[in-house]
Structure 1
Amino acid sequence: MSDDQFPGWHGTTIIGVRKGGRVVVAGDGQVSLGQTVIKGTARKVRRLKPGKTGAEVVAGFAGSTADAFTLLERLEAKLEASPDQLARACVDLAKDWRTDKYLQKLEAMLIVTDGKDLFIVTGAGDVLEPEHDVAAIGSGGNYALAAARALMDSEMDAEAVARKAMAIAADICVYTNGNLTVEVAG
């Protein structure tokens, strides 16, 4: 969709941090339209429960909410078909997302983890396992990523790193607020 067709929705910073055997996904609550904050308490980090046999997965999303929910439903179905195989489910989702004419139009990105693996999934067909055990997406993603990478050598645990990195991103990015949803995977 071109910039003149897209209404200017901005907002969201999502971060995933793996440290000390724990993986934490945190997301802010701000949704903006242009220069106006539409909502400050959106919940963009969720737990997925892919059937009775699959491990619980935590996912955070940036982009269109309806598009992200469509992708999360598809990911749950992929996880039900391949229980406890997060990498395979993410690759299958990315393939569908890239090749299906309906899914190609979806505008969102995902960070997903099962407590062991941590991935960024994009509509370009990417399934990326981040270096340095930190993944970040969204408007303030680069700020949160830089802050978290700087904090990884500290004594802070995964949740503390994620919270501090999100606070730094919220101080810098006008599309990010400090109203966090934090989920620990595993």
Structure 2
Amino acid sequence: MGTTIVAVKRGKNVAVAGDGQITFGDRTIMKATARKVRRLYQGKVIAGIAGSVADALTLLDKLEAKIQEFRGNLMRAAVDLAREWRTDRYLRKLEAMIIAADQDHLLVISGNGEVIEPDDGVVAIGSGGPYALAAARALVRHGNLTPAEIVKNSLIVASEICVYTNDRITLEEIEGTGEQ
């Protein structure tokens, strides 16, 4: 999963960011400006993808269809997608992960049938995920940055460590109403 996606949620505010690098094999950068973070469902949901490009895009399309089917209910859509992903013979072979967020939920969706909502409102996936996760948690605990500032700075840290992550960042955020 040669990419990095990181997300931070505080109250009703959430930001998701991803790098732009697509790596072919383990030695060649094929593209530096890919958009792996997108808005779905009238801009109310943000999704970031990591993994095999074709697999990740297939799953992103399926997630978008599920969100439409459940009229914007991200949790129900994610659970239904994870169930189908785990039980369908074709989908089971797809190698990717998704971070999906709205103003109420921040989720990681995997092909093992997992839908995980982090306790601390911080999550990251992909090859640079552990680096971005550590940086984001430190910034959350020891600063007053916005979710957007945290995910951007976390990706910059990951890009300085992970060879599969660059600093061409796509960032999307939802600024909801409520406590921070």
TM-score between the two structures when normalised by the length of structure 1: 0.88
Matched positions, count: 173
Query: In 1, distance between residues paired with 2:44 and 2:115?
Result: 19
- Percent identity between the two aligned chains: 52
CA distance in 2, matches of 1:171, 1:32: 16
| Unpaired stretches in structure 2, ≥5 consecutive residues | 176-180
Q: Please state whether the residue corresponding to 2:33 is helix, strand or coil.
A: coil
Indicate the residue corresponding to 1:15 in structure 2. 6
In the alignment, what sits opposite 1:157? 146
What residue is the counterpart of 2:131 in the other structure? 143
Q: How far did residue 146 of structure 1 move?
A: 0.4
Q: Which residue in the other structure is 2:71 paired with? A: 83
In the TM superposition, residue 163 of structure 1 has moved relative to its aligned partner by 0.7
Of residues 25, 31, 34 in structure 2, which corresponds to 1:42? 34
User: What secondary structure sits across from 1:132 in the alignment?
Assistant: coil
Q: Determine which of 157, 166, 173 is the counterpart of 1:177.
A: 166
Equivalence for 1:26: 17
* C-alpha contact (below 8 Å) 2:41/2:72 kept by paired residues: no
Q: Structure 1 stretches (4+) deviating beyond 3 angstroms?
A: none
SS in 2 for 1:131: coil
2 CA distance for matches of 1:102 and 1:22? Answer: 35
What do residues 26-47 of structure 1 show as CA deviations (whole Å, max 9, x unaligned)? 0000111212211111110011
Contact 1:20 1:158 in 2 (8 A): no
Unaligned runs of at least 5 residues, structure 1: 1-9
Contact 1:20/1:157 (<8 A) preserved: no
1:98·1:104 contact (CA, 8 Å) conserved in 2? yes
Structure 2 counterpart SS, 1:184: strand
Give the deviation of 1:20 after TM superposition.
5.0
Supply the RMSD in Å over aligned alpha carbons: 1.4
Whose RCO is larger (CA < 8 A, sep 6+)?
2
